[in-house]
Structure 1
Amino acid sequence: MTTRHLGMDWLRIGAFGLLILYHIGMYFVPWGWHVKIDPVIDWVAIPMRATNSWRLPLLFLVSGYASAALFAKLGGGGAFVRSRSARLLIPLAFGIVVVIPPQPWIELMVQHGYRGGFVHFWTQDYFRFGALDGIILPTWQHLWFVVYLWVYTLLAAGVMVWFPETLRARLADGAARLLKGWRMLTVPLAGWLLIYALFPEHDETHALVDDGPSHLHYLIPFAIGWLLRVRPELFAAVARCWRAGLAIAIAAFAFVSWVEWNWPGKIPAPDWVGIPFDVARLVQGWAMIVALVGIADRFWNREHRWRTTLAEAVFPFYIVHQTIIVVAGWLLLRAEVTALPSFLTLVSVTVAGCWLFYAIGRSIGWLRPLIGLQRR
């Protein structure tokens, strides 16, 4: 594929935008997080579940697509690895050292009674390379996605370099045949269900080395995203089944919502609910991804004057957004601001803060690589 698929650009922009909105929701939902409104709001779990099962796999799918496009553009494994490493590892290091530290500091104060100021925490405790009240420091927090993506791109580069071109072509052709037609909807989902059957008790750790089932779960959409770039005929398979995928995702989400409504917050659900709930989330997740790719291909594959700016801005937004949310949420908690004003404030402050971070970073040459932008 030689032309840029603008629909996949818009899908990437939308996926990162939803991720930011999701993390704002984490301030209100009963699930554990760095800082929470008091009291938490049980029903917020239902709209959170609307994206919970597919938002991250979708990010890995669009990242796989973009990685394949970049590999084709650079024309070699060495150039690809250097480019990906610079664009991912430099902002990762900057994020760990500069952007992330307010998050564990606030969590330690709010949930563990830590009394040190931020400067003391950053200079004396943050770089301990060990645990402080059960929190491993330093930490990459939400930037775990960057770490995983870098590892997956190394794996992809290894395949592209070490496998002969004829073998790579056969593998891509075979995978395209396997995903042809309705199998685009069923085969990846079967893979997810198999991973769940083999590791039913696994919870994501985001620690890289002990997160094997999660890697298997995310490598499937990453590989399919890569295949969509190198075998664009797969978009025909998506076009065939995305409407059915949307209907299936809505039906699965209806069951997930029913469970959340009947057993909200910390109320335990009956044992029989566990497996159907998990399976419904997996079905919802992959079916919705297929539906969104189909919608992007059918309706969003067009230019707009904001596309280039937004496509460039989403990575800097991603780097800084959670720290803004945590800091603003902590200040709102201390001021005892109620739910609706807190939500409106978090949305406004996060959007404004992200734009400011991006605008400053993109205008200063030496800052650009630190926030994930190319040098001029």
Structure 2
Amino acid sequence: MPSTAMPSTASIPDRRYDLDWIRVGAFFLLILYHVGMFYVPWEWHVKSPHPVEVLEPLMMLTNPWRLTLLFLVSGAATRFMADKTTVGKLTGARAARLLPPLLFAVFVIVPPQSYYQVVEYIAGHPGTSLTVDNFWLRYVTASGHWCSPAGCLITPTYNHMWFVAYLFIYTLVLAALLLAWRRLGEHLQAGVERALKGVGLVVWPVLFLGLLRGTLYVRYGETHALVGDYYVHAVSFSAFLLGFGLAKSDVLRERLIAARWPALVVAIGAYAGWAAFAWIYRGDTPIPPTGLKLVMRFVHAADTWCAIVAILGFGAKHLNRGGPALRYLTLGVFPFYLIHQTLIVVAAHHLAKLGLPQPLEAAILIVLTFAGCFATYEIVRRIPGVRVLFGLKGQPPVEASRPPAFA
């Protein structure tokens, strides 16, 4: 008879340094991605007057997998928390960590993004009736009436903080599941270990993601509006639960390490195919054949999952050490995420007016964004009453005021 014993987690420490490094790296890539959004022709809050179309394939390098990976890593971090405390304390800790920064962002950090979005629209459409007088008051009272033929700017809004809002909702759902099924993590781990073995490590997730891409995405797209965002919820919550299940699995860790090189090769090939397809059929002109679109949904899925497998595998193999640098950056990720997009929007809007060579402008924008992130972190981590607004509630004051020592 098959064994019914629960998976062993005895050799897994209370923290996975590889996942911490991956989380830091993914958020840093997110910052670079949002800098790119200023230049790529895709719609965004503010835009360069000289869009760079050839930047699109580079942007697609991380587009399919970056946020799915972050939800997976968040699920893994939640597993370590859940196994050390009660469901009530887990929920309270997550609420205290996520809600104050989310509300602070909606009413303080995000409004400049909306302000410059309206300003640029007015500048691009002379004679428009839109105005920005009493902007913040109109923003928070949803009375701006900033509308264009493409639609209206709905405020207040969370913009890039949608990730935090979704993460909090997923935590609440997980808490409800844990109340009904306290050993959920162990059972998820056992189920994932049974499913993700051999070719199943790649085949089942790719099929799952491809089917979601071919059904929910086709009908609902991606909105980040919380309600009705069925495709994003299906992918992101599944990744969150998968991370919760695999966080403490030695078996999966070894499988990911073994699969890292083949997964990388497949991910690169899938990226090349997906980027070429998106480039050739950008703007839906010409219209791609139906059969090709269906195939590409699974190519996109292969890119997403195989990139994640490769990153997790290489991380588990090579990023298994902590240290002062990792502690510093791990704590800094949340403040960086909170402030980075507003820094990009404000700096990019004003840099564009200087007429600098575009490569120089982009380099300055990247430097200013990272410098602003580090400066913000260094300031807020030393102020007890402000730390909670930047997601640093759990950081002891003595650690907050101590300068980093890099080994």
Q: Does 1:42 align with 2:49?
A: no
Which of structure 1's runs of 4+ aligned residues deviate more than 6 A? Answer: none
Rounded to whole Å, the distance in 1 between the matches of 2:106 and 2:143 is 12
Q: Does 1:145 align with 2:163?
A: yes
User: 1:169–1:125: structure 2 CA closer, same or farther, 3 Å change rule?
Assistant: closer
Residues 181, 238 of structure 1: 8 Å contact kept: no
- State the Cα distance separating 1:204 from its structure 2 match: 0.8
2:265 is matched with which residue?
Answer: 247
**C-alpha deviations, 1:236-269, integer Å up to 9, x for none?**
22123221111101001111232344455x4724
2:277 is matched with which residue?
Answer: 259
1:203 is matched with which residue?
Answer: 221
Residues 118, 132 of structure 2: 8 Å contact kept: no
Rounded to whole Å, the distance in 1 between the matches of 2:261 and 2:347 is 39
Residues 181, 236 of structure 1: 8 Å contact kept: no
2:378 is matched with which residue?
Answer: 359
Residues 324, 350 of structure 1: 8 Å contact kept: yes
Q: Does 1:175 align with 2:161?
A: no
2:4 is matched with which residue?
Answer: none
Opposite residue 192 of structure 1, the aligned amino acid is L
1:187 is matched with which residue?
Answer: 204
Residues 17, 320 of structure 2: 8 Å contact kept: yes
Instruction: State the aligned residue count.
Output: 371
**C-alpha deviations, 1:159-196, integer Å up to 9, x for none?**
1111253x764444223211233322221221111212
Q: Does 1:5 align with 2:19?
A: no
2:404 is matched with which residue?
Answer: none
- SS of 1:302's equivalent in the other structure is coil
Higher helix proportion: 1
**C-alpha deviations, 1:47-81, integer Å up to 9, x for none?**
100000001101101111111111123x2100000
Opposite residue 384 of structure 2, the aligned amino acid is G
**Residue in structure 2 matching 1:326, options 302, 323, 345:** 345
Q: Does 1:24 align with 2:43?
A: no
Residues 185, 241 of structure 1: 8 Å contact kept: no
Rounded to whole Å, the distance in 2 between the matches of 1:252 and 1:176 is 25
- Structure 2's unaligned 5+ residue stretches are 1-11, 123-127, 397-407
2:320 is matched with which residue?
Answer: 301
Rounded to whole Å, the distance in 2 between the matches of 1:201 and 1:245 is 29
User: 1:269–1:244: structure 2 CA closer, same or farther, 3 Å change rule?
Assistant: farther
**Residue in structure 2 matching 1:271, options 288, 292, 308:** 288
Residues 41, 53 of structure 2: 8 Å contact kept: yes
- SS of 2:219's equivalent in the other structure is coil
- SS of 2:49's equivalent in the other structure is coil
Q: Does 1:61 align with 2:67?
A: no
- SS of 2:169's equivalent in the other structure is helix
**C-alpha deviations, 1:256-295, integer Å up to 9, x for none?**
232344455x472432253333332221111100100001
1:97 is matched with which residue?
Answer: 107
Calculate percent identity across the aligned residue pairs.
34
- Structure 1's unaligned 5+ residue stretches are none
- State the Cα distance separating 1:228 from its structure 2 match: 1.6
1:282 is matched with which residue?
Answer: 301
Rounded to whole Å, the distance in 2 between the matches of 1:47 and 1:66 is 30
- SS of 2:154's equivalent in the other structure is strand
Rounded to whole Å, the distance in 2 between the matches of 1:178 and 1:349 is 46
Which runs of structure 2 are paired with 1:215-234 in the superposition (5 Å)? 215-234=233-252
- State the Cα distance separating 1:17 from its structure 2 match: 0.4
**Residue in structure 1 matching 2:256, options 238, 247, 267:** 238
**C-alpha deviations, 1:55-111, integer Å up to 9, x for none?**
1101101111111111123x2100000000110111000111110000011111112
**C-alpha deviations, 1:211-250, integer Å up to 9, x for none?**
0121011122211111122433211221232211111010
1:79 is matched with which residue?
Answer: 89
2:362 is matched with which residue?
Answer: 343
Rounded to whole Å, the distance in 2 between the matches of 1:254 and 1:68 is 35
Rounded to whole Å, the distance in 2 between the matches of 1:115 and 1:308 is 45
Opposite residue 131 of structure 2, the aligned amino acid is R
1:128 is matched with which residue?
Answer: 142
Question: Comparing 139-148 with 201-210, which one deviates more in the overlay?
Answer: 201-210
